Amino acid sequence: MTNKKITIKDGQTDNEIELPVLDSILGPNVVDIRALEKNLGYLSHDPGFIATSSCESKITYIDGNEGKLWYRGYPIEELAEKSNFTETAYLLLNDKLPNKSDLNDFFKSISSNYNVDEQIKDIINIFGKGSHPMAIMSACLSLLSAKYHNEIDIQNKDYRYRSTIKLIASVPVISAWILNSIMQRDFQNTSENLSIAENFINMAFPDLSDDQKELSSRAMDVIFLLHADHEQNASTSTVRLSGSSETSPYAAIAAGISTLWGPTHGGANEAVINMLEEIKNSDKDVEFYIEQAKDKNNPFRLMGFGHRIYKNYDPRAKIIQKIAHEYLAKLSKDNPNKPLFDIAMKLEKYALEDEYFVSRKLYPNVDFYSGIVLKAIGIPQSMYTVIFALARTVGWVAHWNEMIEDKNFRIGRPRQLYTGNKKTKYTDISER
């Protein structure tokens, strides 16, 4: 904390209060307003918590103006180039990169927990054809929450570690089984010698050639890494708020999954493919849709462009753009998805060169490219958000652990600006 303070004066009573300013290592400093109500009788009002720091965190740093995303101080570009999802998961959880022994032990801990409860398959089979996979995933996490309910001991570090590892290992296996069900395949077995990405691809697409499995696993590993965490977004904040009641970590993650499901959060990459399909099936060319997007009175919007946080190029998009181009280059010319990808590349060209998009910084974001890569791999659209949840589980459990270890840990309890009726006298129904 700095010695700097901000003075707030009540214009009606002339009372005033000094509020301390808390230092941020990077980014804006924060005004601690906790004494505001006690001393002046006021609350702050911030719909959507857009200008509110809800917690202290050391996990992820984002600078939207500069287009920076760092995990534990490591730029995402370096991690994507030199690291992998398993090592990055260790970093997010432990605040350091592992040595060879650490990484080997961590991998064994995860892979030995691939043996997910067989009852999960029964839950998946209960859901009818057309059920959304995110609803199925949420139900599966609720089953695990029920199964491990008697073990809850969140103040116990060993319990938290066991739960963390089980979640990181279980969600990818459950995701693969859900995909098996959607594609009407038998539930596939896990392989303890494979990484999370390799195991997922092997279970999801058992009939692929070894070369294609390797190619798809590499692409999927990068997608997982890029989506592992993104600071205090809606789903992460939900996991923290849910977990603050000391509920089961499985229940807290299920709450995060439900939040991520929304189309303005995790469902954006699915919307990208829907848009591309609309353009492909139209008798209009790409230029027609570009002009529609420029018309503020036209309801059409280009999905996968721009970002609420990044006012510059989303650093994840630059990385996955390269992956997308490399992956698509290896597809045969008669691949049925090629027309869709051709449209995507034309849209990308406009976004990077057209003054309208450049001046407004409407660059392609990570959802634009991840949707394209997932489509190329063969993942059904309804599964895109499940893939997101699979990766983000690492970030969620990292924040859950950090929250519990925080000296200021307490149950979350946002306040409100009440605008309803004043005290109203009850009248008997015969008199109304």
Instruction: Give the CATH number for residue 265.
Output: 1.10.580.10
Q: What's the rounded Cα separation, in Å, for the pair 309 and 306?
A: 9
Are residues 300 and 373 part of one domain? yes
Are residues 212 and 71 part of one domain? yes
Q: Say what the pTM is.
A: 0.90
Are residues 32 and 67 part of one domain? no
* 9: helix, strand or coil: strand
Are residues 330 and 243 part of one domain? yes
Report pLDDT for 2: 57
49 in a structural domain? no
Are residues 354 and 221 part of one domain? yes
51 in a structural domain? no
The domain tally of the chain equals 2
Q: What's the rounded Cα separation, in Å, for the pair 70 and 86?
A: 17
Are residues 412 and 361 part of one domain? yes
262 in a structural domain? yes
Are residues 198 and 280 part of one domain? yes
Residues belonging to the active site: 307, 367
Residues with Cβ within 8 Å of 243's Cβ and at least 6 positions away in sequence, in order, are: 154, 249, 252, 400, 403, 404
Are residues 342 and 301 part of one domain? yes
Which helix or strand (DSSP H or E) is residue 31 part of? Answer: strand 30-31
Give me the residue label for tokens 């509020």. Answer: 19
Q: What's the rounded Cα separation, in Å, for the pair 84 and 247?
A: 31
Sequential pLDDT tens for the chain (432 residues): 557 888 888 878 888 888 889 888 888 888 888 888 888 888 888 888 888 899 999 999 999 888 899 999 999 999 999 999 999 999 999 999 999 999 999 999 999 999 999 999 999 999 988 899 999 999 999 999 999 998 899 999 999 999 999 999 999 999 999 999 999 999 999 999 999 999 999 999 999 999 999 999 999 999 999 999 999 999 999 999 999 999 999 999 999 999 999 887 887 788 888 899 999 999 999 999 999 999 989 988 888 888 878 877 789 988 998 898 888 888 767 777 778 888 988 998 888 888 998 888 888 888 888 888 999 999 999 999 999 999 999 999 999 999 999 999 999 999 898 999 999 999 999 999
428 in a structural domain? no
431 in a structural domain? no
Are residues 172 and 123 part of one domain? yes
> Do 395 and 59 touch, CB atoms closer than 8 A?
yes
Are residues 100 and 30 part of one domain? no
- State the alpha helices, DSSP H only, in 183-280: 196-204, 210-226, 234-243, 249-260, 268-280
Edge-to-edge, what's the strand order for the sheet holding 60-63? Answer: 60-63, 68-71, 74-75
424 in a structural domain? no
Q: Which domain holds residue 310?
A: 57-417
Q: What's the rounded Cα separation, in Å, for the pair 275 and 304?
A: 9
The count of C-alpha atoms lying within 13 angstroms of the C-alpha of 38, restricted to the half-sphere facing its C-beta, is 6
Angle between helices 384-405 and 366-377 in degrees, nearest 10: 130
323 in a structural domain? yes
389 in a structural domain? yes
Are residues 176 and 36 part of one domain? no
* 365: helix, strand or coil: coil
Are residues 393 and 332 part of one domain? yes
